[in-house]
C-alpha cells in the first residue's frame, strides 16, 4: 500500500504546496539540480494564477506543447507534500526523444526515501486510465535514483539520447 496519494493543486492543499515549493526553490538556488517537473515552479506565490496555469496546461497548452496534468504527491500519514509529477497525455516529437510521458520530482528533504518509486507507480495507474499503454520516461544519465525508480516500475532501457548536450537514458514501461 502506497504512503502517498496524487492530488491536483487546489486551495485545500495550498499551504502544503507552498511549503514544499519554498524549500525546493531555496534548494535549487544553491544546487545544480534537475528541476523536474518544471511546471510546478511556475509563480506559485500567486495561487489563483498558479491554479489557472495548470488548467491551461491540461486543456489549452501553449503552441508546441501537449496537454499535461500535474499532480502533487501527498504523504497521507504525515500530511506533507513530498513531490510532484506531470503526466503528458501523448508525445510529440520532442517528448518522444527526450521528455516522455512522465516527469517527476521529490522535495529535497524527502529524497532517498522511496517516494520517487511510489510517485511513478501512482502516475502509471493514471496513465493506464488515460489509455496510455506504453509509457516513455527519460532521466539524466548520472541520476542513479531516477534510473532505479524507473526500473523498479518496469522500465526497459532503450538507449541514450542527447538532449541539447545532456545525455539522457530513455526507458519504456509497458502497461498492457
Taking the C-alpha atoms of residue 81 and residue 22, their distance in angstroms, rounded to an integer, is 12
Is 164 within a domain? no
CB atoms within 10 A of CB 151: 15
Is 176 within a domain? no
User: What predicted TM-score, i.e. pTM, was given to this entire model?
Assistant: 0.95
Contact 168, 140 (CB under 8 A): yes
Contact 172, 136 (CB under 8 A): yes
Place of cell 526497459: 156
pLDDT of residue 34 exceeding 70: no
Q: What is the DSSP letter of 13?
A: G
Taking the C-alpha atoms of residue 125 and residue 122, their distance in angstroms, rounded to an integer, is 5
Report the mean per-residue pLDDT for the chain.
Answer: 94
Q: What is the pLDDT of residues 65-116, one digit of tens each?
A: 999 999 999 999 999 999 999 999 999 999 998 889 999 999 999 999 999 9
Look at residue 2 in the predicted model and tell me its pLDDT. 86
Is 110 within a domain? yes
Across 36-50, 82-96, 130-144, least confident range: 36-50
Taking the C-alpha atoms of residue 97 and residue 163, their distance in angstroms, rounded to an integer, is 8
Q: What burial class does residue 4 get, using C-beta atoms within 10 Å of its C-beta: 0-12 exposed, 13-18 middle, 19+ buried?
A: buried
Is 119 within a domain? yes
Is 58 within a domain? yes
| Preceding omega of 37 cis (within 30 degrees of 0) | yes
Q: What is the pLDDT of residues 149-174, one digit of tens each?
A: 999 999 999 999 998 888 999 999 99
**Residue 27 Cα to chain centre, angstroms:** 17
State the average pLDDT over residues 47-65. Answer: 95
* Torsion angles phi and psi, residue 142, rounded to 5: -90, 5
Q: How many domains does the chain fold into?
A: 1
Is 166 within a domain? no
Is 17 within a domain? yes
State the average pLDDT over residues 50-70. Answer: 95
Is 11 within a domain? yes
Radius of gyration of the chain (CA): 15
Q: pLDDT class for 1, splitting at 50, 70, 90?
A: confident
For residue 91, the domain's CATH number is 3.40.630
The strand pair at 156-163 and 102-106 is best described as: unpaired
Domain that holds residue 103: 4-129
Amino acid at each position: 500500500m502506497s504512503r502517498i496519494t496524487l492530488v491536483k493543486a487546489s486551495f485545500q492543499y495550498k499551504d502544503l504546496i507552498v511549503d514544499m515549493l519554498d524549500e525546493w526553490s531555496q534548494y535549487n538556488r544553491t544546487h545544480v539540480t534537475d528541476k523536474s517537473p518544471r511546471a510546478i515552479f511556475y509563480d506559485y506565490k500567486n495561487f489563483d494564477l498558479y491554479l489557472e496555469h495548470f488548467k491551461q496546461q491540461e486543456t489549452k497548452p501553449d503552441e508546441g506543447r501537449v496537454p499535461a496534468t500535474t499532480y502533487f504527491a501527498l504523504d497521507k500519514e504525515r500530511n506533507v507534500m513530498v513531490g510532484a509529477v506531470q503526466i503528458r497525455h501523448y508525445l510529440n516529437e520532442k517528448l518522444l526523444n527526450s521528455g516522455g510521458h512522465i516527469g517527476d520530482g521529490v522535495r529535497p528533504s524527502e529524497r532517498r526515501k522511496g517516494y520517487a518509486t511510489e510517485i511513478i507507480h501512482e502516475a502509471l495507474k493514471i496513465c493506464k486510465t488515460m489509455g496510455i499503454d506504453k509509457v516513455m520516461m527519460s532521466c539524466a544519465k548520472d541520476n542513479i535514483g531516477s534510473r532505479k525508480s524507473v526500473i523498479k516500475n518496469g522500465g526497459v532501457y532503450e538507449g541514450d539520447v542527447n538532449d541539447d548536450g545532456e545525455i539522457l537514458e530513455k526507458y519504456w514501461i509497458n502497461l498492457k
